[in-house]
């Protein structure tokens, strides 16, 4: 081999990986985002996009997001997940564990980040919180006792309350453990939680509140949030028309008319989900990314709703609230 041939072959050998690396560096990452609600104007998706921007990603410039939403229902998640696998996206982001389950069934190789996993280990999403072990990671509110604390605050607001109904979103995969937690908390507080009325899709909401009205329920505690969250405005209107004070799953419910909540800050959770995406795009494996628990919790009370229902909230509780909606 003469010198010219040797140099040509050497340069060619060096150029090949450099070209491949340049091509990889120039690739725009493609995400899928599966959610129940429309991404337009949603507090949670806004927080996720804000988190991406903080990390240097701008949708439509250096990252692409394939948005798929169920328009208030979870029924199309399996179809969405299968479509995202065919598109060979880099990461699937699921807003909740129902979407995450659909994605998990569709692929064992594409990384999946679930913003809110109700029961990571018991639900089969992870081997342990510290080392998930598969292609799924994300965040969870499990183990924070937040549901029991929410009931405690509600009882503090209405100390003479001895009974309230349970409105259970059975589309949430973790509704079973949450119901058991709230029933145990009710026994400690001397509060009967009955009747239980299940919601499986948006069409069952009106009938659920009709049942609660017929039963004469003095108040209602909601369990779960996937379908209820997507239809929270309708739910708040139904509760107000039924004259039912209601404890809900997050501040987003309260801002649309629910009476009160104590919960994790969902915006913070979805912002942190963007950090998981960033780590995965930079080479981290979901199997090695610990599933985190929330660090921010809020007591939020809607005084407009309280006044509309003719209710008085103790000043001591209002003074402890992180947000009071006037």
User: What 3 state SS string does 100-160 have?
Assistant: HHHHHHHCCCCCEEEEEECCCCCCCCCCCCCCCCCCEEEEECCCCCHHHHHHHHHHHHCCC
| Topology annotation, domain 146-264+297-325 | Rossmann fold (3.40.50)
Please choose, from the candidates 64, 30, 69, 57, the residue with its C-alpha nearest in 3D space to the C-alpha of residue 229: 69
Is residue 220's pLDDT more than 90? yes
All structural domains of the chain with their residue ranges: 27-143+267-288, 146-264+297-325
pLDDT digits (tens, 9 = 90+) for 77-122: 999 999 999 999 999 999 999 999 999 999 999 999 999 998 999 9
Query: What value does the mean pLDDT take over residues 192-202?
Result: 94
DSSP readout, 168-222? EETTSTTHHHHHHHHHHHHHHHT-EEEEEEEE-SGGGHHHHHHHHHHHT-S-EEE
pLDDT digits (tens, 9 = 90+) for 244-286: 999 999 999 999 999 999 999 889 999 999 999 999 999 999 9
Is residue 10's pLDDT more than 50? no
Terminal-to-terminal C-alpha distance of the chain: 84
Query: What value does the mean pLDDT take over residues 45-72?
Result: 95
Is residue 21's pLDDT more than 60? no
| pLDDT the model gives residue 14 | 38
| pLDDT the model gives residue 73 | 85
In percent, how much of the chain has pLDDT > 90?
77
Query: What value does the mean pLDDT take over residues 22-26?
Result: 48
| pLDDT the model gives residue 111 | 98
Return the bridge partners of 196, or none: 166
Is residue 23's pLDDT more than 60? no
Q: Which DSSP helix (H) or strand (E) runs through 67?
A: strand 64-69
The torsion of the CA quartet 207, 208, 209, 213, rounded to 10 degrees, works out to 90
Minimum mean pLDDT among 25-29, 222-226, 291-295: which range?
25-29
User: Burial level of 15, CB count in 10 A (0-12/13-18/19+)?
Assistant: exposed
| pLDDT the model gives residue 225 | 77
Query: What value does the mean pLDDT take over residues 32-59?
Result: 92
27-143+267-288 shares its CATH topology with 146-264+297-325: yes
The whole-angstrom separation of Cα 28 and Cα 86 is 17
CB atoms within 10 A of CB 78: 15
pLDDT digits (tens, 9 = 90+) for 313-324: 999 999 999 999
CATH code reported for the domain at 27-143+267-288: 3.40.50.2300
| pLDDT the model gives residue 144 | 67
| pLDDT the model gives residue 2 | 44
56: left (phi over 0), alpha (psi -120 to 50) or beta: left
More confident residue, 150 or 23: 150
Query: What value does the mean pLDDT take over residues 290-296?
Result: 91
């Amino acid at each position: 081999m003469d010198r010219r041939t040797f140099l040509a072959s050497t340069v060619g050998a060096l150029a090949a990986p450099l070209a491949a690396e340049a091509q990889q560096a120039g690739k725009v990452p493609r995400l899928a985002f599966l959610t129940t609600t429309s991404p337009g104007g949603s507090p949670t998706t806004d927080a996720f996009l804000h988190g991406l921007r903080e990390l240097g990603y701008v949708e439509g410039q250096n990252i692409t997001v394939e948005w798929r939403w169920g328009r208030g229902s979870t029924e199309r998640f399996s179809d969405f997940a299968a479509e995202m696998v065919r598109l060979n996206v880099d990461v699937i982001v699921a807003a909740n564990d129902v979407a995450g389950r659909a994605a998990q069934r569709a692929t064992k190789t594409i990384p999946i980040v679930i913003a809110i996993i109700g029961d990571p280990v018991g639900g089969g999403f992870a081997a342990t919180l510290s080392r998930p072990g598969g292609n799924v990671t994300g965040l969870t509110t499990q183990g924070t006792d937040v549901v029991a604390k929410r009931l405690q605050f509600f009882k503090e607001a209405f100390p003479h309350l001895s009974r309230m109904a349970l409105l259970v979103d059975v589309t949430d995969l973790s509704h079973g453990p949450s119901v058991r937690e709230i029933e145990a908390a009710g026994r400690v507080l001397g509060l009967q939680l009955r009747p239980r009325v299940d919601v499986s899709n948006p069409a069952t909401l009106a009938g659920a509140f009709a049942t609660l009205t017929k039963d004469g329920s003095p108040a209602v505690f909601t369990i779960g949030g996937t379908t209820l969250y997507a239809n929270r405005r309708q739910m708040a209107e139904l509760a107000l028309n039924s004259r039912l004070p209601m404890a809900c799953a997050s501040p987003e419910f309260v801002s649309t008319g629910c009476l009160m909540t104590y919960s994790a800050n969902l915006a913070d959770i979805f912002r942190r989900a963007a950090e998981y995406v960033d780590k995965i795009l930079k080479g981290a494996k979901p199997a090695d990314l610990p599933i985190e628990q929330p660090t921010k919790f809020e007591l939020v009370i809607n005084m407009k709703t309280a006044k509309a229902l003719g209710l008085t909230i103790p000043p001591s509780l209002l003074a402890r609230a992180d947000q009071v909606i006037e």
